[in-house]
Amino acid sequence: DTLTVMKVCCIGAGYVGGPTCAVMALKCPDIQVTVVDRSSERIAQWNSEKLPIYEPGLDDVVKKCRNVNLFFSTDIETAIKEADLIFISVNTPTKNFGNGKGRAADLKYVESAARMIAEIAQSNKIVVEKSTVPVRAAESIMHILHANQRPGIRYDILSNPEFLAEGTAIEDLVHADRVLIGGEETPEGHKAVEKLSWIYEHWIPKKNILTTNTWSSELSKLAANAFLAQRISSINSLSAVCEATGADVSEVARAVGLDSRIGAKFLQASVGFGGSCFQKDILNLVYICEGLNLPEVAAYWQQVIDMNEYQKSRFSQKIIESLFNTVSDKRISIFGFAFKKNTGDTRETPAITVCKTLLEEGAKLDIYDPKVEPEQIIDDLTHPCVTESPENVKKAVQIHSDPYSAVRGTHAIVLCTEWDEFVTLDYKRIYQSMMKPAYIFDGRKILDHENLQQIGFHVQTIGKRY
Ligand code: NAD
Ligand code: UGA
């Protein structure tokens, strides 16, 4: 009975807080889960028919649990007061000012969540750091809580990083490879770990629930993202060698990945990785290493970021060079703007780099993405703005709700996101409505290039020379 957690609160109703709590509510009918956010707009969306984020399968889970044992609320105070266990799942962006600008993680939202808890709590709480944070961040949370502690209230702080990927969040949460829980190595710490573990044991086999000390848990999250991104930068670096030599990066990736020690996953060469976390977390790791006086380690991981920047700009330059070194006033279709398929998220999407480079060169863009909101695309291309003024950018960009309308009269298609629907489009019809010579730049290597060439397209891609 001491192992029973009845009420859970999650601060932060974002890409992590929303899906994580929805799955938790689905799998734990005996637990009441309340997700709170200070953005009333976000909470209203979670309570509406159109959820604030697109994730395959999410709608169903939310519909089943919402207002049964899953609640979305702006009443942070009540949710904190009533909860036995509180997840902090707020954003931890890269700092854009002051010390560590452009690299360190900005912990102001984590800190404000901790301060709210300290102010409001009237009973013991287990506080779980779900956000991705620097190593030893739990220490800061502990300091804040303890410095503001009411007499008789006990706090236990746990680290429980999230490993879900966008576009597959529900699947990743339901069938997690592992759940990681870090806690203090004291009897009370162990008890807190057990309580959180008990929640996950509702649907995750116990052998897949890993417990470590707090600092290992925090570092493992940064390490996992650094390793994943490193694989992409490694294969992308070789894609440049392939283009220069006539090797084919897909063949290389397959040959290398069949070695079971290496494995086949995450070896897909691309226009570059995007998303809100890889770059942010590696920059944070680099910053931490520098602070620890480990410059060689910092330089090692920095290369993963540098290679990704190189890949994005290399692909953009290739487009311009192929189009006779000028795209000024040429219309170019952009297929896909999200940072990967099956999400409407555009944070750090390589499409932004590609589009901005083309806009700076004077191109006109016709953009189509099945899930990204038009306002989001305009916002991404105007904040911060390229050399052009926001007004000029808006004039140069047209957003379409249909791929066939996005290609009418354009000189080239640039594929930035690997949406399945791009594979099965009628490319004969598309070719007919485009300017000639018609170009396709496949930044994701998903199209049938031979077929496209037969139709008459000039095809360029990553890691293969035509
Ligand atoms: P997000 O920006 O989508 O959501 C964060 C939410 O927290 C926002 O809605 C914001 O309004 C809210 N918030 C911030 N401060 C608050 C406060 N003091 N009180 C109440 N609400 C507050 O971010 P996200 O993508 O869900 O990421 C959250 C964390 O999880 C980050 O640390 C990220 O690195 C990590 N993470 C993200 C992913 C992912 O796929 N997006 C995966 C694993 C880990
Ligand atoms: C990533 C990790 O996969 C998650 O485990 C982690 O929890 C999450 O970051 C996080 O901490 O936020 P996510 O960024 O949502 O998840 O998506 P990924 O599938 O990792 O893709 C990231 C980027 O890499 C995308 O732009 C994708 O297109 C690109 N990518 C991925 C490649 O270019 N090649 C590949 O082989 C794989």
Pocket test for ligand 2, best of 220, 270, 418 (most atoms within 8 A of CB): 270
Which ligand lies nearest the alpha carbon of 40?
A: 1
Sheet with 179-183, edge to edge strand ranges? 70-73, 32-36, 7-11, 85-88, 125-129, 155-159, 179-183, 209-213
The percent of the chain in helix, strand and coil, each rounded to the nearest 5, is 45, 15, 40
Cα–Cα distance for residue pair 192/217, rounded to 1 Å: 15
Ligand 2 atom showing the smallest separation from residue 271 Cα: 33
Reduced to 3 states (helix: H, G, I; strand: E, B; else coil), residue 16 is: coil
The secondary structure of residue 66, as a DSSP letter, is: B
- 151 CB contacts (<8 Å, ≥6 apart)? none
Helix (H) or strand (E) holding 62: helix 58-65
CA 126 to chain centre: 27
The amino acid occupying position 112 is: S
Quote the pLDDT of residue 1: 47
User: Which residues of 254-363 form beta strands (DSSP E)?
Assistant: 331-335
Closest C-alpha residue for ligand 1 atom 11: 39
Which ligand lies nearest the alpha carbon of 79?
A: 1
Ligand 2 atom showing the smallest separation from residue 274 Cα: 26
CA dihedral 347, 353, 359, 362 (to 10 degrees): 180
Quote the pLDDT of residue 327: 96
213 annotated to a ligand binding site: no
Count Cβ atoms below 10 Å from residue 54 Cβ, excluding itself. Answer: 19
Reduced to 3 states (helix: H, G, I; strand: E, B; else coil), residue 181 is: strand
Quote the pLDDT of residue 297: 98
327 annotated to a ligand binding site: no
166 annotated to a ligand binding site: yes
Is 0.90 topped by the overall pTM? Answer: yes
Which ligand lies nearest the alpha carbon of 114?
A: 1
Q: What angle do CA 464, 255, 452 make, to 5 degrees?
A: 30
Reduced to 3 states (helix: H, G, I; strand: E, B; else coil), residue 104 is: coil
Q: What is the pLDDT along the chain (466 residues), one digit of tens a residue?
A: 455 669 999 999 999 999 999 999 999 999 999 999 999 999 999 999 999 999 999 999 999 999 999 999 999 999 999 999 999 999 999 999 999 999 999 999 999 999 999 999 999 999 999 999 999 999 999 999 999 888 889 999 999 999 999 999 999 999 999 999 999 999 999 999 999 999 999 999 999 999 999 999 999 999 999 999 999 999 999 999 999 999 999 999 999 999 999 999 999 999 999 999 999 999 999 999 999 999 999 999 999 999 999 999 999 999 999 999 999 999 999 999 999 999 999 999 999 999 999 999 999 999 999 999 999 999 999 988 766 788 889 999 999 999 999 999 999 999 999 999 999 999 999 999 999 999 999 999 999 999 999 999 999 999 999 8
Quote the pLDDT of residue 383: 86
SS3 sequence, 172-218?
A: HHHCCCCEEEEECCCHHHHHHHHHHHHHHCCCCCHHHEEEEEHHHHH
- 294 CB contacts (<8 Å, ≥6 apart)? none
CA dihedral 442, 444, 449, 451 (to 10 degrees): -100
Q: Which two tokens stand for residue 294?
A: 């480990």
15 annotated to a ligand binding site: yes
Which residues surround ligand 1 with Cβ inside 6 Å? 11-17, 37-39, 42, 89-92, 109, 112-113, 131-132, 162, 164, 166, 276-277
Q: Is residue 161 in contact with ligand 2, taking CB distance under 6 Å?
A: no
Catalytic residues: 277
Residues 169, 18 contacting (CB under 8 angstroms): no
Q: Beta strand 155-159 with 364-368: parallel, antiparallel or unpaired?
A: unpaired
- Torsions phi, psi of 442, nearest 5? -95, 95
Cα–Cα distance for residue pair 297/132, rounded to 1 Å: 20
Closest C-alpha residue for ligand 1 atom 4: 14
Sign (positive or negative) of CA dihedral 52, 55, 60, 61:
negative
Cα–Cα distance for residue pair 282/269, rounded to 1 Å: 19
Closest C-alpha residue for ligand 2 atom 10: 277
Residues 69, 33 contacting (CB under 8 angstroms): yes
Domains of the chain: 7-204 (3.40.50.720), 214-466 (3.40.50.720)
Quote the pLDDT of residue 149: 82
Cα–Cα distance for residue pair 15/134, rounded to 1 Å: 20
Ligand 2 atom showing the smallest separation from residue 267 Cα: 36
Residues 296, 377 contacting (CB under 8 angstroms): no
